[in-house]
Structure 1
């Protein structure tokens, strides 16, 4: 079955793409299978991962690449074996589009409901499908991929609000929920950028008693308090902050992508059996720390990546019920190059969302 629409989008052809040099062009999607869904894209969030990938920051990128993995639109073609999605549904897809479970695999991660940690994961862009074809992302008109990682968007969540939740939102919600964030818990969020703002919103939605925003300066204090923070620490400005606030937090989620973090001082903020989880992904190694920061209080330090399909569904349901609203700036899809440059310059307050205006209405 052929389609009447073309797959075209903003393509990064080399490392210079991150400097506002993506090119709009046509590309060949994966062959359509009876487990797939085609999405007519109306909105796509800009994620920090897009920047890292465009410039080959983490690993060498397989150019050409079309980034974007916070995709919302309408299903225009649905395979016969796809459950719960029908043509016309408003749907979204996040950073992951496939796992061995979809190919009837049997890895430990998928068996435990942690598909995001599957060794055979297919990411939404700059990856390969089982047949060897490339995956392409959402800075585009259409997206094609596995229906197992396509989610209905609740009516209460506008498309531009929901799109950034599908990667940025779930990246912080997953460890918050897993670490027991909720009534009776005191949570710290390190880094008040796109991920960090979701940390505050998520901790508030989960009902945490106290939410402390942690940033280098007080620049974002007012915004943080409006989002739901109950306290604020400016690490470059507040004298002896690690000592003054020592042993006060049950959970710390670190969203920063800079390796220049005072991790020893962050760990001092944890209470007995406290948990520190890193979700920001620096391109360089982070500093070392004294192991007694963990031993003396039986604390744990770990990492987390996006979230499973079930966690994404739970998050969307909760955020719809609680009226959670992403703090976002909408930008026309045609201006994607400028938006990427502005994102890299730190101008987002707090997420950029590309709007494919010709697909609205």
Structure 2
């Protein structure tokens, strides 16, 4: 069992958003109260935290009213410094990661948790930040911080051979595209399109190739990304703003499309034309307000096309993905930024400067460990 009750003289501090203005690079560093400790929990000394588009949506209350103050960040990697007595999967000193989920009900009679689908639990849905835990356990706070406290089920051990700056953005960005690729049959004999080659989409290209897809097509707006996307491993590239009649020349050539775009104005009907008969279109991008383009039903009926969605992944999905990343030597394109630079980093992300994922490095903790 766990139960390593280490000294708890550390304090929980991080970058806090106090209003939607935080989105404009106006987070403030300060102390916060973590969730109430239970013997199912793990405290993590954070060394790395990826910056996800979800952080920006939350900071500006784009997905609904945020409960300020809020510390965002759900691509967390660090080392366990306190482990509850009910925990036998993690020990003090282990390198662990936390993604977008902090808790589900975990009950044996839950139709989803009992089947390893904790990310779809209908009873308890606690996000890593800006959520309330059941009972009196308090509020969830994220990883732009020195420490994180989470239920051990959602603290995933990071395998050896995977650098922490790579592991961090995999915890949300990576699993968000890996899970639908894996669950929709990505592999030999399949052609896959990745719509929106940014922070999420670049993982889509990397994982589609790692899973053995015969042909991977990156689809983004501008031709200026073509060389970068091909360098990631894509076999072809479509620039929807610059390639004339792309929806006609590519008609009926893809088996599966993973769409990371979070715009209600994307040319959905043209994306659907790229699918073969019985093709799948899986949406993972989440726009402000949840708005989605209108669909002409005849586009679905005429080719037996299915439209679906996918939300993050379960702990077992994350474990599988991390091991594949080691086995296939996947190297995300990341740029490390100091934790002290978080405000400028979120401004740069919104400006589209990231190629393709920013990772905050908590240098004072990095100097204390080999992670």
For 1:135, what is the secondary structure of its paired residue?
A: coil
Which of 110, 116, 122 in structure 2 is aligned with 1:107?
110
8 A contact 1:172–1:199 mirrored in 2: yes
Deviations 1:115-158 (A, max 9, x none): 11112111100001112400000000000010000111111110
For 2:112, what is the secondary structure of its paired residue?
A: helix
Q: Distance in 1 between matches of 2:64 and 2:233?
A: 36
Structure 1 runs, 4 residues or longer, greater than 3 Å off: none
Question: Is 1:324 paired with 2:327?
Answer: no
Q: CA RMSD in A?
A: 1.0
Residue number in structure 1 paired with 2:130: 126
Residue correspondences, number: 359
Residue number in structure 2 paired with 1:254: 259
Residue number in structure 2 paired with 1:82: 87
For 2:92, what is the secondary structure of its paired residue?
A: coil
Residue number in structure 1 paired with 2:215: 210
8 A contact 1:93–1:149 mirrored in 2: yes
**Unaligned 5+ residue runs, structure 2?**
none
Which of 302, 310, 318 in structure 2 is aligned with 1:304?
310
Q: Distance in 2 between matches of 1:240 and 1:182?
A: 28
Q: Distance in 2 between matches of 1:252 and 1:35?
A: 39
Residue number in structure 2 paired with 1:26: 31
Which of 66, 70, 77 in structure 2 is aligned with 1:65?
70
Deviations 1:16-63 (A, max 9, x none): 001111111111111211110000000000000000000000110000
Residue number in structure 2 paired with 1:186: 191
Q: 331-340 or 109-118, which moves further after superposition?
A: 109-118
How much does 1:218 deviate? Answer: 0.9
How much does 1:326 deviate? Answer: 1.1
Residue number in structure 2 paired with 1:272: 277
TM-score normalised by the chain length of structure 1: 0.98
Q: 287-296 or 316-325, which moves further after superposition?
A: 287-296
8 A contact 1:40–1:74 mirrored in 2: yes
Which of 167, 192, 198 in structure 1 is aligned with 2:203?
198
Residue number in structure 2 paired with 1:53: 58
Residue number in structure 1 paired with 2:344: 338
For 1:167, what is the secondary structure of its paired residue?
A: helix
Question: Is 1:151 paired with 2:156?
Answer: yes
